[in-house]
Every structure is written in structure tokens, then in C-alpha cells.
Amino acid sequence: MSTIVIDRQFRGPPNSGNGGYVCGVLARGLVGPVTAMIRAPVPLDEALEFEAGPTGNRLLGPEDAVIGTGAAAMQPIPDAPVIPTLAAARAASAGYFGHTNRVHPPCFTCSNEREEGDGLRVFPGQLEGAEPGVLACVWTPHAAFGGVDGLIPPEVVWAALDCPGFFAWIEKEGRHGALLGTMTGEILTPPRVGEDYIVLAWPIAREGRKETAGVALINAEGQILARAHQVWIVMPPRPPVAA
């Protein structure tokens, strides 16, 4: 058992940990594809207990409440439907939903109000010629996120793949709210600081309040470096505010 803190820098909603980043934390030390599940909002700037075991990990909050779990993959990871070029991904980013709408403005992954080196600034937009909801952008990891070896740590890679799956469904179905519930991912080759990578996302299926999506990180040569399957939980409409 060890103690960890999810710093406020790594937030998604204003007062909760970024889903992809937390899933990456839950995958620590596990070999091969991992399914990470977030069971409750993740407190920021608070000591949390991280319980690592040979078959899985748990993140515990106050009174040992289980906030999240990580274990060997329970869900197949889908293949990318297309491998775009850097130029096509860069062009797609111009259509990013967040350029004209405020969505989770403090989010570590997708906020365009976070500065370089503070947020990841991953801005996926509709890929020209692809099915609706197939999004892409270019992500160039900042030196602030690299280790001494120049490699990007796993939890940051998982974070880079987080929000694009949500925006794939916004592009396909229109604006709505959703929270990341489960992410099954694997990192095949860690990305490096300062290199250009393609982030790709696509919708898979919707069933009730569950939306599934695929996401991938691809290098300039078309090699997949990381990939994931996501389950998003659609939030119910907010009740009207009384006059």
C-alpha cells in the first residue's frame, strides 16, 4: 500500500481527476492491456491509498471507499478504422468542437485555455472523408511532460487518449455530457518529447446511456504506439432551474 496524490494540474472536470490520467495511474505496474474502471469522482490534492497486487490495483479514498480499479483487460481493443497522415490530422484539428464551444475549460487533456506545458492541448476534429465522428489531430508532447529519457510517462499517454473518444460522440450525435467509466488500453511504444503524433478517435456503439469509442496514438510513419477502448456514461439532462 502506498499513498499518491492526483495534483490539480491533472484535472478533468474542475474538481475531479482527469479520467484518462487516473486510468493510467490504475494501470501502473501491470503488463499488457489493462482495463481501468473509475467508480467515483477522483479527489484532487488529497492523499489517496494505492493498493497494488499481482492481479490488479485499487485506488482508495476516505474510509477505504474504492475510487477505481485496474486489472488485466476485460475488453478487446479495436483496430483503427483509418491511419491518417500528419497533414490530414492537422487539418482536422481546425474543426475541433472546443474551438467554438467551452467544454470542461480546465481539462488537462482538451482545454485550449491551458498553456503549453500545463495542459496537453489535444484538439481532435472531424477527419475529412471519414465517417461522421472519426476525429484526428496532431499532438506534440511538451518537454514538461517527459522523463529524463525523453519518454512520456504512461499516465500522460492515457490522458492524451481520454477526451477524443468523447468528442467522437459529440461529432456523431451532437452536444451532450458524458463521463469516462472504463478504459481498456495498452502502450506499445512510448512517445517522445517534441515529436509529432496523430491522435485518432472514432465512435463504436451506443446502448442506452453507454457510448463506446476507440482511440489510438499513431506516429508519422503510421505505426500505432498506443490504443484503447472506452466506455462513456451519458449524463442525464439537468432538471430545469426554478424561476
Specify the pLDDT at position 238.
Answer: 62
Mention every residue, 6+ apart, whose C-beta is less than 8 A from residue 103.
97, 110
The pLDDT tens digits for 88-107 are 999 999 999 999 998 888 99
Total Cβ atoms within 10 A of residue 192: 15
Comparing CA positions, the residue from 225, 130, 194, 198 lying closest to residue 168 is 130
Spatial separation of the C-alpha atoms in residues 32 and 206, rounded to whole Å: 27
Entry pTM? 0.95
Total Cβ atoms within 10 A of residue 66: 13
Specify the pLDDT at position 130.
Answer: 97
Specify the pLDDT at position 48.
Answer: 97
Specify the pLDDT at position 75.
Answer: 87
Tens of each residue's pLDDT in the chain, 243 residues: 799 999 999 999 999 999 999 999 999 999 999 999 999 999 999 999 999 987 899 999 988 899 999 999 988 999 999 999 999 999 999 999 999 998 888 999 999 999 999 999 999 999 999 999 999 999 999 999 999 999 999 999 999 999 999 999 999 999 889 999 999 999 999 999 999 999 999 999 999 999 999 999 999 999 999 999 999 999 886 655 554
Nearest-10 Cα torsion for 8, 218, 55, 73: 110
Domains of the chain: 2-72 (3.10.129.10), 86-234 (3.10.129.10)
Specify the pLDDT at position 242.
Answer: 54
Specify the pLDDT at position 139.
Answer: 98
Specify the pLDDT at position 102.
Answer: 87
